[in-house]
A = this chain, B = another copy of it.
Amino acid sequence: MALVVQKYGGSSVADAEKIRRVARRVVECYKKGNQVVVVVSAMGDTTDELISKAREVTENPPDREMDMLLATGEQQSIALLAMAIQALGYPVISLTGPQAGILTDNVHTKAKILEVSSDRLLKELGEGKIVIVAGFQGITMDNEITTLGRGGSDTTAVAIAAALKADVCEIFTDVDGVFTADPRLVPSARKLSRISYDEMLELASLGALVLQPRAVEFAKQYHVRLHVRSSFNYNEGTIVEEVSDMEKEMVVSGVAHDLNVAKITVFDVPDRPGIACRLFSALARESINVDMIVQSQMRNEINNISFTIGKDDLRKAVGIIERIKGEIGASGFSYDDSVAKVSIVGAGMITNPGVAARMFEALAEEDINIQMISTSEIKVSCIIDAQEIQKAVLALHKKFGLEAKEKDNQATA
Q: CB within 8 Å of B: which residues of A?
A: 15-16, 19-20, 50, 53-54, 56-62, 64-66, 68-69, 71-73, 75-76, 78-80, 82-84, 86-87, 93-94, 96, 99, 120, 143-145
Contacts and interface: CB of A to CB of B under 8 A. Distances in A.
Contacts of A15: 56
Contacts of A94: 65, 68
B69 A57 contact: no
B83 A65 contact: yes
30 contacts: A15-B56, A16-B57, A20-B57, A53-B80, A54-B80, A57-B83, A57-B84, A58-B84, A58-B86, A61-B83, A61-B86, A62-B82, A64-B93, A65-B79, A65-B80, A65-B82, A65-B94, A66-B79, A66-B83, A68-B75, A68-B82, A68-B96, A69-B75, A69-B80, A69-B83, A72-B72, A72-B75, A72-B76, A96-B145, A99-B144
Nearest to A120: B143
A54 B93 CA distance: 15
A74 to B, nearest CB: 9
A75 B71 contact: yes
Given A94-B68, A96-B145, A76 B50 contact: yes
A64 B145 CA distance: 21
Q: How many copies does the complex hold?
A: 2
Nearest to A17: B56
Nearest to A20: B57
Contacts of A20: 57
A181 to B, nearest CB: 37
Contact of A57 (B65, B78, B87, B143): B87
Nearest to A43: B53
Contacts of A71: 75
Query: Nearest 8 pairs between A and B by C-beta?
Result: A69-B79, A16-B56, A58-B87, A72-B72, A68-B79, A61-B83, A65-B79, A65-B82
Nearest to A72: B72
B62 A86 contact: yes
Contacts of A66: 79, 83
Interface centre among A20, A65, A72, A96 (most CB of B within 10 A): A65
A63 to B, nearest CB: 11
Contacts of A61: 83, 86
Nearest to A81: B57
Interface centre among A53, A58, A87 (most CB of B within 10 A): A58
Nearest to A84: B57
A112 B225 CA distance: 45
Given A61-B83, A68-B82, A99-B145, 9 more contacts: A16-B57, A20-B57, A54-B79, A54-B83, A57-B87, A58-B83, A58-B86, A60-B87, A72-B75
B69 A86 contact: no
A123 B88 CA distance: 46
A83 B68 CA distance: 11
A86 B72 contact: no
Contacts of A54: 79-80, 83
A61 B79 CA distance: 9
Nearest to A145: B96
A53 B93 CA distance: 18
A76 B96 CA distance: 15
A145 B64 CA distance: 21
A16 B79 contact: no
A83 B83 CA distance: 32
Contacts of A57: 16, 19-20, 80, 83-84, 87
A76 B79 CA distance: 16
A79 B80 CA distance: 22
A78 B86 CA distance: 30
Contact of A99 (B56, B79, B93, B143): B143
A59 to B, nearest CB: 8
